[in-house]
């Protein structure tokens, strides 16, 4: 079913004018772009199977590409993913595939479900205006609506309440006060994960040249090197090159229109599958980012 849903979403995205790249067994299954905006989509039958390591990699990749990460799923450990609801997994929005597609068409969900509690976001300014226009205090409004004073006060002050309370208020005033949940504008932060010994040795060399770095363990790129708004994608390997990984790295780099290369301890080739191969010793002899880029571009 998961593969079928991936193919279904890809087709629906293409119908909406997105360019698509598919990947398997990584922290995301679909990379989509349109008008310079990127989406990173992971499809899961059971969202609890998505690990914290995958989540951190997905959020890191989203930060690099300025992309919106979304998990599309059907089932959690103790619940089904309902249409029109937004859940979270490691601070990443989780929605039913139909909710995702509706959001692309600006038919947004309104209910955020966290830890078994369903809440809606409220237009605080609108709610306050309605209460003031009616001349009601918090106590009077609570008595009129059959709610507690605390419930009415917190709704206006925090901009959050239950769907039932929102319905009571909207019914009384005959005005909408709910705000949609924009799954493409979640605040995303990530943790820096520990590097392997080889990753540490490589990034020390690239740092000397002037690049900062992000390391991935469940993405098509192993390391992304950054220099302000410019970034490079690479894979590292101490021994033989994995052709499937190299192909995925090439596809990712080409789709994102950024240089991609492989770093190895030793090799007799300068290029594999259209991807530049760079040896550790060559990086040690490189004195600047310009020299480094010449080395890579001369082998693509």
Query: Which residues touch 110 (CB under 8 Å, ≥6 apart)?
Result: 84, 120, 121, 163, 178, 179, 180, 181
By C-alpha distance, which of 88, 85, 76 is closest to 111? 85
Stretch 132-142: mean pLDDT: 92
What's the CATH number where 209 sits?
Answer: 3.40.1350
What gap in Å lies between CA 265 and CA 217, rounded to an integer? 19
Scanning the chain, the segments in alpha helix (DSSP H) are: 2-15, 52-65, 97-104, 124-133, 138-145, 149-158, 163-173, 197-209, 243-256, 280-284, 289-297
From the number of C-beta atoms within 10 Å of its C-beta (0-12, 13-18, 19+), residue 77 rates as exposed
Claim to verify: residue 127 and residue 86 sit in the same structural domain: no
pLDDT tens sequence across 89-105: 999 999 999 999 999 99
- pLDDT, residue 159, reads 94
Q: Given the DSSP bridges, would you call strands 178-179 and 212-215 parallel, antiparallel or unpaired?
A: unpaired
Residues 205 and 261 in one domain: yes
Picking from 59, 74, 109, the residue at the C-terminal end of a domain is 109
Residues 6, 101, single domain; the answer is: yes
* 53/73 same-domain check: yes
Range of the domain at 127: 119-179
Same domain, 123 and 221: no
- Residue of 20, 18, 17 whose CA lies nearest to 255: 20
Task: State the pLDDT at residue 242.
Answer: 79
Residues 103 and 158 in one domain: no
Do 94 and 143 fall within a single domain?
no
Residues 102 and 123 in one domain: no
Q: How confident is the model at residue 300 (pLDDT cuts 50, 70, 90)?
A: confident
CA-nearest of 292, 212, 206, 277 to 245 is 277
Band (pLDDT 50/70/90 cuts) for residue 77 is confident
In a domain, 189, yes or no: no
| 123 plus 105 within the same structural domain | no
Cα 50 to Cα 93: distance, rounded to the nearest angstrom: 12
Give percent above pLDDT 70 in the chain: 99
Taking Cα atoms as reference points, which of 158, 166, 184 lies closest to residue 40?
184
Query: What are 72's strand-pairing partners?
Result: 43, 95
Domain boundary among 68, 86, 109: 109
- Domain annotation covers residue 187: no
Round to whole Å and give the CA distance between 275 and 173.
63
Cα 45 → chain centroid: 18
φ and ψ at 264, to 5 degrees?
-135, 165
Reply yes or no on whether the pLDDT at 264 is more than 70.
yes
| Token reading at 214 | 């992000």
Final residue in a domain of this structure, among 89, 109, 129: 109
In a domain, 190, yes or no: no
State the pTM of this model. 0.91
Q: What's the mean pLDDT in 23-41? A: 96
Q: How many domains does the chain have?
A: 3
Residues 6 or more apart whose CB falls under 8 angstroms from that of 240 comprise: none
Residues 135, 103 share a domain: no
User: Does residue 220 sit within a domain?
Assistant: yes
CATH number at 12 reads 3.40.1350.10
191 part of a folded domain? no
Per the listing, tokens 């002037």 go with: 210
| Structural domain contains residue 192 | no
Which burial class, exposed, middle or buried, applies to 224 when counting CB atoms under 10 A from its CB (0-12, 13-18, 19+)? Answer: buried
Structure tokens at 12: 């629906």
Q: Give pLDDT, residue 184.
A: 97
> Residue 244: CA atoms inside 13 Å, Cβ hemisphere, count?
5
Residue 268 lies in a domain: yes
129 assigned to some structural domain: yes
Q: Are residues 138 and 221 in the same domain?
A: no
Give the angle subtended at the CA of 295 by the CAs of 291 and 299, to the nearest 5°: 160
Kindly state whether residues 127 and 36 are assigned to the same domain.
no
């Amino acid at each position: 079913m998961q593969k079928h849903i991936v193919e279904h979403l890809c087709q629906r995205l293409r119908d909406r004018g997105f360019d698509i790249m598919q990947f398997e067994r990584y922290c995301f299954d679909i990379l989509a772009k349109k008008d310079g905006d990127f989406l990173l989509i992971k499809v899961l039958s059971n969202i609890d199977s998505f690990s914290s390591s995958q989540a951190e990699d997905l959020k890191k990749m989203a930060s690099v590409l300025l992309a919106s990460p979304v998990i599309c799923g059907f089932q959690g450990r103790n619940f089904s993913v309902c249409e029109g609801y937004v859940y979270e997994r490691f601070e990443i929005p989780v929605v039913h595939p139909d909710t995702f597609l509706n959001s692309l068409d600006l038919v947004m969900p309104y209910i955020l479900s966290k830890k078994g509690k369903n809440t809606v976001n409220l237009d605080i300014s609108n709610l306050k205006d309605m209460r003031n226009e009616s001349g009601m205090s918090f106590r009077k409004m609570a008595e009129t609506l059959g709610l507690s004073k605390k419930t009415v006060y917190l709704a206006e002050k925090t901009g959050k309440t239950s769907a039932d309370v929102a319905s009571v208020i909207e019914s009384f005033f005959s005005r909408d006060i709910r705000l949609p949940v924009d799954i493409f504008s979640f605040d995303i932060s990530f943790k820096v994960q520990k590097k392997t010994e080889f990753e540490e040795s490589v990034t020390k060399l690239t740092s000397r040249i002037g690049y900062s770095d992000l390391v991935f363990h469940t993405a098509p790129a192993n390391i992304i090197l950054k220099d302000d708004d410019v970034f490079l994608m690479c894979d590292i390997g101490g021994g033989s090159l994995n052709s499937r990984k190299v192909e995925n790295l090439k596809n990712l780099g080409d789709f994102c229109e950024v240089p991609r290369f492989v770093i190895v301890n030793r090799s007799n080739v300068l290029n594999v599958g259209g991807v530049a191969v760079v040896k550790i010793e060559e990086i040690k002899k490189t004195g600047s980012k310009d020299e480094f880029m010449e080395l890579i571009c001369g082998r693509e």
